[in-house]
């Protein structure tokens, strides 16, 4: 039996089958030990078999595995308080959901509700998810997979880094600007403080909402709680997911006070979002980041990666923290395959010359040394 027998044939498969994992290492059915520099698309922030996270999930399963948002539960309140505090106090409420796309869907809904305007402005190269609204603001989705007959609202895209286009495209018809502060799928592309600051200024001037999609860069991956903290540019809303649950499916929409104030009972809804298991996972992720000083580790190890890994096919570095792009002198797919043959898992991106690294925050300098040696060998 092939592992994919009855699964929908929509995902290209890596030529490995994982049966077990620990720390930053994957163990395959055929007995290989593979260094995971991809973290399951940026999800495995704490790596594998993290004791605190594993215990938190087991403990919550032993207490109560599910009650909906209609039933107060302390673990849900703890997770929301912990996450808003972690983000630095700018946001005063959290709406928990199940995925990144769902977080974006709800952020866009809030922007339309608050402004009653017809359009959204996105950024070229962005990825925001596969649902109707999130897909509508994803660059190039219409040509690749969108399939819905039309988008539910007007969308315009700012070319990356184009400051002049900001004032042309963000107008009084704009409900929101949605931007990944560091693009993930687009190729670990750092938007930079100047561009993000200009978006903030223009949105404030035009009365449009600014949404940071931190589904991939958020919850510590930048080396800061959120990229917003790193750039010192605060949006009206942050969406996040991936690392947030370390593999327990969850997402979150963080809202600043004016957004919170515009909420009304039953204005947003979900069955699974905010479930106690997800909340226990979220609490454990933030706890581990804080108690194990993982933000400092991400900053230190990513700096070392930049300083030491311009070797072999690598001609440059981009991105931020552990959303790291290795710019290559040859196709990333080729280098990805060659690294996997040397027991290192890395990812590609929409940019064919960029290899994307999204390792667990527990990655150490000695692991980067293994990557460098493999790259030198190519
Ligand atoms: C920046 C960004 N936003 C949104 C999404 C969609 O998240 P999900 O797959 O959890 O719906 C992704 C997924 O890759 C992403 O990278």
Here the CATH number for the domain that contains residue 166 is 3.40.640.10
Which of 39, 216, 245, 325 is the pocket-test mutation for ligand 1 (most atoms within 8 Å of CB)?
Answer: 216
Torsion of CA 103, 105, 107, 108, to 10 degrees: 160
For the chain, 378 residues long, the average pLDDT of each consecutive 10-residue run is 79 96 98 98 98 98 98 98 97 98 98 98 98 98 97 98 98 99 98 98 98 98 98 98 98 98 97 98 98 98 98 98 98 98 98 98 98 97
* pLDDT value of position 3: 54
Q: Tell me: do 208 and 223 sit in the same domain.
A: yes
Q: Is 238 helix (H, G, I), strand (E, B) or coil?
A: strand
What's the pLDDT at 4?
61
In which element (H, E) is residue 325 found? Answer: strand 323-328
Q: What is the pLDDT of residues 275-306, one digit of tens each?
A: 999 999 999 999 999 999 999 999 999 999 99
Assigned domain for 12 exists: no
Do residue 150 and residue 276 come from a single domain?
A: yes
Q: Identify the H or E element spanning 206.
A: helix 193-206
Q: Is residue 242 part of a domain?
A: yes
Q: Measure the CA–CA gap between 109 and 148, rounded to whole angstroms.
A: 18
- By residue range, what is the domain housing residue 30? 18-43+294-376
Distance CA 348, CA 187 (A): 8
Position 5 scores a pLDDT of: 87
Distance CA 85, CA 327 (A): 35
Q: State pTM to two decimals.
A: 0.98
Give me the count of residues in the chain: 378
| Residue-wise pLDDT tens digits, 320-336 | 999 999 999 999 999 99
- C-alpha gyration radius of the chain: 20
The domain tally of the chain equals 2
Instruction: Find how far residue 335's CA is from the centre of its chain.
Output: 24
Does a structural domain hold residue 163? yes
241 lines ligand 1 (CB under 6 A): yes
Residues 6+ positions from 114 with CB-CB distance below 8 Å: 175, 209, 258, 259, 262
Is-contact 122 178, C-beta < 8 A? yes
Ligand 1 within 6 A of 127 CB? yes
Pocket test for ligand 1, best of 40, 41, 122, 127 (most atoms within 8 A of CB): 127
Final residue before a domain boundary, out of 266, 291, 316: 291
Q: Which atom of ligand 1 is nearest to the CA of 251?
A: 10
Q: What is the pLDDT of residue 61?
A: 98
Alpha carbons 51 and 115: distance in angstroms, whole number: 45
Name the residue of 11, 39, 128 to mutate for ligand 1: max ligand atoms within 8 A of Cβ.
128
Determine whether the shortest distance from the Cβ of 227 to ligand 1 is under 6 A.
no
Decide whether any atom of ligand 1 lies within 6 Å of the 101 Cβ. Answer: yes
């Amino acid at each position: 039996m092939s592992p994919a027998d009855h699964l929908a044939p929509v995902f290209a498969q890596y030529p490995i089958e994982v049966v077990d994992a620990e720390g930053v290492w994957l163990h395959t059915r055929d007995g290989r030990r593979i260094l995971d520099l991809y973290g399951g698309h940026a999800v495995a922030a704490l790596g594998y078999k993290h004791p605190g996270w594993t215990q938190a999930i087991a403990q919550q399963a032993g207490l109560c595995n599910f009650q909906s948002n209609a039933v107060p539960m302390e673990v849900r309140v703890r997770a929301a308080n912990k996450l808003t505090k972690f983000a630095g106090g700018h946001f005063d409420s959290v709406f928990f959901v199940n995925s990144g796309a769902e977080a974006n869907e709800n952020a866009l809904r809030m922007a339309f509700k608050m402004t009653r305007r017809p359009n959204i402005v996105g950024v070229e190269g962005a990825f925001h998810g596969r649902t109707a609204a999130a897909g509508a603001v994803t660059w190039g989705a219409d040509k690749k997979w969108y399939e819905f007959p039309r988008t539910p609202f007007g969308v315009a895209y700012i070319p990356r880094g184009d400051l002049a286009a900001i004032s042309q495209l963000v107008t009084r018809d704009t409900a929101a600007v949605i931007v990944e502060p560091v693009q993930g799928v687009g190729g670990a592309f750092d938007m930079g403080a100047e561009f993000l600051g200009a978006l903030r200024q223009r949105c404030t001037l035009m009365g449009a909402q600014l949404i940071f999609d931190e589904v991939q860069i958020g919850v510590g991956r930048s080396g800061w709680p959120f990229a917003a903290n790193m750039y010192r540019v605060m949006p009206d809303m942050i969406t996040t997911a991936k690392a947030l649950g370390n593999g327990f499916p969850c997402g979150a929409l963080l809202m600043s006070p004016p957004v919170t104030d515009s909420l009304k009972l039953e204005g947003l809804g979900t069955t699974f979002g905010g479930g106690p298991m997800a909340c226990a996972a979220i609490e454990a992720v933030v706890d581990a980041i804080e108690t194990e000083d993982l933000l400092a580790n991400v900053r230190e190890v990513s700096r070392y990666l930049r300083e030491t890994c311009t070797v072999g096919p690598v001609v440059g570095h981009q991105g931020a923290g552990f959303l790291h792009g290795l710019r290559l002198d040859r196709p990333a797919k080729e280098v990805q395959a060659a690294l996997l043959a040397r027991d290192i898992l890395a990812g590609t991106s929409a940019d064919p010359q960029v290899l994307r690294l999204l390792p667990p925050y527990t990655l150490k300098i000695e692991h980067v040394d293994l990557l460098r040696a493999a790259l030198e060998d190519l």
